Structure 1
Amino acid sequence: MGHNDNRTPLIEPVATPDAWRCCRSVGSAFTGALRPRQPDRRFLASLPEHGLPRGTTTVELTVLAQNAKSVPTAAVVEGVFAPRRIDSAMTAFVVRHPTATFLVDPGICVDVRDRAIVELPGILRAAVTPPKDVIDIRESLRRSGIEANAIDFALPTHLHWDHIAGLLDLPGLALRLHRPEHGWAMEGPVAPVGGVRHAVRERPLDVYDLDGPPVLAFARSHDLFGDGAVVLVDLSGHTPGSVGLLLRTDRGPVLLAGDAVWHHLQVEELRQKSGYPGMLADDDRTETWRTVHRLHAIRGAVRIIPSHDHRAACAWHADAR
């Protein structure tokens, strides 16, 4: 069956930012560039250190092939101008556990502009549209030498179009979702932009809760396989149920951070996302800011790879080779 046979018409009302929020976003970008939000040192000092999960099982992490586009650093990281530009990409990952192989953040489908991006408001579309040579998820898998039928399930960090649109080209693939994230995206009166509900529906679904003990600086966790090799942690803020994947690998612990931050400079410099498009993308800016503090606090204990940080993803791929 060809990719075009899997297209679904966009017929549901979608959540789009109103004019006032758009204006605030642009204004905040200018203000934040000159006076970036200052770290909350008291909150940072209060964060506990619970340590890493115990166990000996390891997983293999593969960064899937993707092309990047160059963007101004200040448009991603508030108040940071050096380097002048950075590479941003919509990266997907494959994690191989001894008992299952799964896909993380399969964001790009064939004809993604017509099938997902078309729903976005123009002011947001201008900032997030990928490059013309963006690689769809099936091609990404092929270039990485991975058969699509070898994937047991998908586990997105959150339900934004650029993290799940690739599921449109993987019909029938099972999906695992954080329960609050599923409720936010699928049960409200309007859907998140970008055909999110079409990508999630009509496939096997397993929802989970963060019902486990504290890990590192995170209050809640969920051990996916029960052996400490893949532990999901709370990165809420960007969306209500955003999660990170804490992986135990042969080269040390890695945290796939989704969109809790867009670039490692946010973690290193303790900076939030630029107001534009950050205010349009983050569901709760205050909670997102707290999550950035948690990531900053653990940066020495784990390797953090944000989904859109092309340099961080390429560095892992190069080390693996």
Structure 2
Amino acid sequence: MKPLALFATPWLLACSSLLSAAPAVDHLRLSVIPTASSSGAAEAMVVSGGRWGTQRHLLHAAILIEHPQGRFLFDTGLGHETADAFARNNWLNRTLLAYENLNPARDQLEAAGYQASDIDFILPSHLHWDHLGGLPDFPDLPVLILPGALEEAKTHGEPPAFLAEQFEGEREWRQIALDNVPYLGFDRSLDLFGDGQLVLVDLSGHTAGQVGLFVNLPSGKRLFLIGDTSWTERGVEQNKPRPVFVQWISHVDSDRERNSEQLKRIHELHQQDPELLIVPAHDEVVAAGLAHFPDFEE
């Protein structure tokens, strides 16, 4: 069974070839689209045990993933309407979470000859403001989420993590369910296109319904996109969560204990399989080693 085969029906592919500017691909590939960076903070503020003398400029990015059966964005990064939503935060959080070098994903895609209609769907790792900031720039695209993710965001979500403006208006939120198929230590998974190249797992903890995505490229390179389970590779390598005072100020983890369990699992997986590249969504150092749009990892 191919759970997302609806994106690859002959009729849909024929229509997209008429409407799309970007050519179809014959193999899986991935590209990081940087949309902004944090204005800077000591590493000790983003991971427990981090160095006060090391300045980090965490990345806000979308990841463009192209597969013969579909093209999608994993996260959207920040977008044209982010500033208005971000202004709802209090002074402290506007200062702590300040960003710079805004360059929305849609602008970069269009500059490279893509149209919004070339993207089939958006798959956010989770529904925090900095992962959905570009969502209003793609108003017609469905958003794939796990059960519970949208409910938490709409009924319990508060600034600065959740910004209500990002959930307003007409939008197709499409719930997807994982199969009872274990994958690399996770009890359940979803093989997005049925060929083992893109496998989704549940990383709930940072938020309800946060997802991780295993990417198995044709070159043999393998990545695990872990959202915000950790902001840094250092956190994964040392099994160190975010500092407690950051949780107290900004309430970044919906369930800190569960997120710590997920981090421990990823830490152990990293030790068992060091060739699997762990990619925290915001780690600018890890991202620097990956292809940036319009170049691709293949």
**Normalising by structure 2, what TM-score?**
0.80
Q: What is the CA distance between 1:140 and its match in structure 2?
A: 3.5
Greater relative CO (CA pairs within 8 A, separation 6+): 1
**Greater helix fraction, Structure 1 or Structure 2:** 1
Shift of 1:270: 1.3
Q: Distance in 1 between matches of 2:77 and 2:164?
A: 11
CA distance in 2, matches of 1:218, 1:149: 34
Asked whether 1:247 is paired with 2:236, we answer no
SS in 2 for 1:281: coil
Given that 1:231 and 1:246 are in contact with CA atoms closer than 8 Å, whether structure 2 keeps it comes out as yes
What do the CA deviations read for 1:248-285 (whole angstroms, capped 9, x no partner)? 11242211111111011101111111223234101111
Q: CA deviation at 1:120?
A: 2.4
C-alpha offsets along residues 231-259 of structure 1, whole Å, 9 cap, x if unaligned?
11121110021111111112422111111
Per-residue CA deviations over 1:28-76 (Å, capped at 9, x if unaligned) read xxxxxxxxxxxxxxxxxxxxxxxxxxxxx96211101334343211010
The yes-or-no answer on 1:156 pairing with 2:124 is: yes
Q: Do the aligned residues in 2 keep the contact of 1:167 with 1:200 (CA within 8 Å)?
A: no
Note closer, same or farther for the CA distance 1:191–1:286 as it changes in structure 2 (3 Å cut).
closer
**Structure 1 residue ranges (4+ consecutive) displaced by more than 6 angstroms after TM superposition:** none
Match of 1:129 in 2: 98
Q: Deviations over 1:184-242 (max 9, x none)?
A: 223x2x54435346446512332112223121122221222222221111211100211
Structure 1 stretches of 5 or more lacking a match?
A: 1-56
1:179 aligns with 2:147: yes
Instruction: Give yes or no for contact 1:105–1:155 (8 Å, CA) kept in 2.
Output: yes
Write out per-residue CA displacement over residues 125-156 of structure 1, whole angstroms, 9 at most, x where no aligned residue.
Answer: 2211211x222221233456543221111000
Out of 53, 57, 70, the position equivalent to 1:100 is 70
Residue aligning to 1:265: 234
Residue correspondences, number: 261
User: What is the Cα-based RMSD across aligned positions, in Å?
Assistant: 2.3
TM-score by length of 1: 0.74
* Contact 1:106–1:164 (CA under 8 A) maintained in structure 2: yes
Equivalent pair of 2:58/2:282 in contact (CA under 8 Å): yes
The CA distance in 2 between the partners of 1:274 and 1:141, in whole Å, is 36
Identity %: 31
Gaps of 5+ in 2: 1-25
